[in-house]
Structure 1
């Protein structure tokens, strides 16, 4: 049996303004300008410009008797005109005076595929159909310079997209011609073929090579062609035995391989390649008279205000009401204007709160990691988690996380991600708490200083860290090594 009941419940829900603020907190400085432009286009009551110096101040007048709706509207109009809605300027204290051009420079150069297409004239093609096949092959080469599609797949592409029916032998013949284009190694289907193509071209141009270089190149080709798996796994002793050569001879041959380019198209900007990303710092920390100072980067955040035109429209309507000349259409227009002005004020307030929250959070991080920002010594980084900063700033952990996400700070010692300053603590043998970031830095220093002909195992790395006072397990060493992007000892071996 269905029943209807009335009940009261208390729920915590984020207001639209709070949701807007949370979203803005996640936006890094480099994207904030675009977000503001979108809001300017969507809301005509919001405009870009400096705060007016001649603020409007009028004495409050007696309101006409009206309905409750009219009373609320009159009160809004009076408060708005007397109070001049929120506007903000970023050229205040705590904000950077960066006057650089806001646009990001984009290098203009010939793309990789355009470079290949220019070389088509060097091919001795029989007809227009073969030229179309060559263009299809070039278009299928990826941004690294590899042809990831098989000749069979290219046949299908030609049939469905170009209505060309050909055979696999023709595709392979034209591919082999393209593989002789510059840069060497393009059009290969895997790394092994890419290196072999480059070595073949070097051996063909052997008129500038002496006997020793020629021998080294031939050995390098033999290693890649026949012992590629052993080479990639750095089984150097095995290679020496199979090739019956000395360690020095193997080193010279591998030296030739290391001169090759595993990504032939890396020097070009391809059509599919994303525009290079430039790091735009959200904060600046510098030292003045031995003390740290913090500035927000306001370069991409223009000054905002509520439109003067909309303000004048409200004043005009109020005067008409006072003179008794207002009508229903004017009232409906004012209700629309009120909605747009409210939206503009909410957005401006959200921008102001975003800047204040970001500054307060970064200032707390700066104070917490004061020794590091003063000296640049990563060993002085203190253990710090989101909760530590949240408790000091009286902000929620999720707010701190949003501020730290995708944000950068520029210091006198380089530009860093905010996330780099957050780390768990680890106890030393003396009982002192140190940052896991410090342990990783010490681990990296040990690995950098190791004898590359006999790289250190994780067990040995653990022993060395314990000698330095860091009580750490071998599996933790392996985890930190992987986080640093350092391979296992076998793959770090060099001749």
Structure 2
């Protein structure tokens, strides 16, 4: 007969309430996302309302070190480096100043909407012919498209709609009346040029290396791609970057804190206050009680988010005081989330959320919060420095190298070893690629 046994077991588990999960999302919101969430809550909850705050009081900062002075805290206006300019819309408007038929403008609009973030058009004329004919419900000849594309390329910034780098360089060289030899190199020897095979170019064109060097000097001043300088203006990246933190350095003091864009203080809508005392309509009373509870939690969550962010930036400023004063990478100390957690008492998970996708406005520019967290590299003498500083050293070695004999990753590794760094060649390669530095073969010049 089978026997029955009673087994007792103990398990440890962690249950997270829906509101706790919602608060974790709150922490991760950037300023624009939080503003959207507040707008949504105001629309859905009649008990919640807001009061406009004085604009000059929106951005309050603390001094470091703090003092007992009664001086009013310094304030800052909304970040003036936010980018919201749409270059594609400007090009479309510029094309319409040519006063061409509406069909032609429609073709130009489609071409401009089809370029990538660099301004290159990845469709052939044949593909554009098929797509436009279908979309406009009328046959569009590729010769007509070619004429429109030619006009688009001559708008400012010029070259938008070129196929690739070779096409764009050839367009610029021709527009700027560069030498026939340069046009020949770009048009028929571009692969050799991209691979730095200068000897083969000289041999095929029957010119000296000195003459080739003179011709290639004409490339100086040409843009690398059509929308160079307008990277944040294309539709795909038409998002305003608003910093959540600001750290300034004035009169030998660091001034720091959180930024708030909304200028709204959340409050209870007192027009519904009397409804809580009336019990004639139980359903209404229950509904308003639930909404008031929800509004109270929402306001508390917003305040707790700001408090957590203030605690975080305070600890970061303390750990990176030298860097925020100088702006020099050499003053950036190794710092991980665990270091900030030890100072604040917050969990690493919480700190990760209030630093992810958030920016700090400083006197030397806009800095992603995540870039302040770097791993430590230990030198042979035991000194710890940030891996960002090592990357800066690699960058300087590359910029100072002999371009006719550029340094390989192994050679950079040996140079760093002589300065007390024990790093592998693979690490150097990773640092170089992170900084978008080409390999030694592609850095070779005449």
TM-score by length of 1: 0.74
Q: Which residue of 2 aligns with 1:433?
A: 384
Q: 1:429 to 1:166 in 2, by over 3 A?
A: closer
Deviations 1:181-236 (A, max 9, x none): 44554543333233333434444xxxxxxxxxxxx510111101111001112222
Match of 1:227 among 183, 189, 207: 189
Match of 2:218 among 253, 256, 260: 256
Question: Unaligned stretches of 5+ in structure 2?
Answer: 1-8, 64-72
Q: Which residue of 2 aligns with 1:37?
A: 39
Q: CA RMSD in A?
A: 3.5
Q: Which residue of 1 aligns with 2:95?
A: 116
User: What SS is found at the alignment partner of 2:27?
Assistant: helix
Counterparts of 2:59 and 2:372, CA distance in 1: 28
1:309 matched to 2:239: no
Instruction: State whether residues 134 and 174 of structure 1, in contact with CA within 8 Å, keep that contact through their aligned partners in structure 2.
Output: no
Match of 1:468 among 419, 424, 429: 419
Counterparts of 1:218 and 1:239, CA distance in 2: 15
Q: 1:428 to 1:243 in 2, by over 3 A?
A: same
Q: Which residue of 2 aligns with 1:211?
A: none
1:286 matched to 2:248: yes
Counterparts of 2:365 and 2:15, CA distance in 1: 41
Q: Which residue of 1 aligns with 2:66?
A: none
Q: Which residue of 2 aligns with 1:153?
A: 127
1:280 Cα deviation from its structure 2 partner = 2.7
TM-score by length of 2: 0.81
Instruction: State whether residues 385 and 424 of structure 1, in contact with CA within 8 Å, keep that contact through their aligned partners in structure 2.
Output: yes
User: What SS is found at the alignment partner of 2:235?
Assistant: coil
Moved more, 357-366 or 376-385: 376-385
Q: 1:137 to 1:279 in 2, by over 3 A?
A: closer
Q: 1:11 to 1:307 in 2, by over 3 A?
A: farther
Counterparts of 2:43 and 2:290, CA distance in 1: 16
Counterparts of 1:228 and 1:424, CA distance in 2: 41
User: What SS is found at the alignment partner of 2:401?
Assistant: coil
Q: 1:108 to 1:223 in 2, by over 3 A?
A: closer
User: What SS is found at the alignment partner of 1:303?
Assistant: strand
Q: 1:244 to 1:459 in 2, by over 3 A?
A: same
Instruction: State whether residues 61 and 258 of structure 2, in contact with CA within 8 Å, keep that contact through their aligned partners in structure 1.
Output: no
Any residues of structure 2 matched to 1:174-213 within 5 Å, and which?
174=147, 178=151, 181-182=154-155, 185-203=159-177
Say which one has the larger Rg: 1
User: What SS is found at the alignment partner of 1:194?
Assistant: helix
Q: Figure out how many residues of one structure are paired with residues of the other and give that number.
A: 420
Question: Unaligned stretches of 5+ in structure 1?
Answer: 1-6, 52-88, 122-127, 204-215, 318-325
Match of 2:375 among 424, 427, 434: 424
Deviations 1:95-116 (A, max 9, x none): 9764636896745876223333
Counterparts of 1:333 and 1:240, CA distance in 2: 87
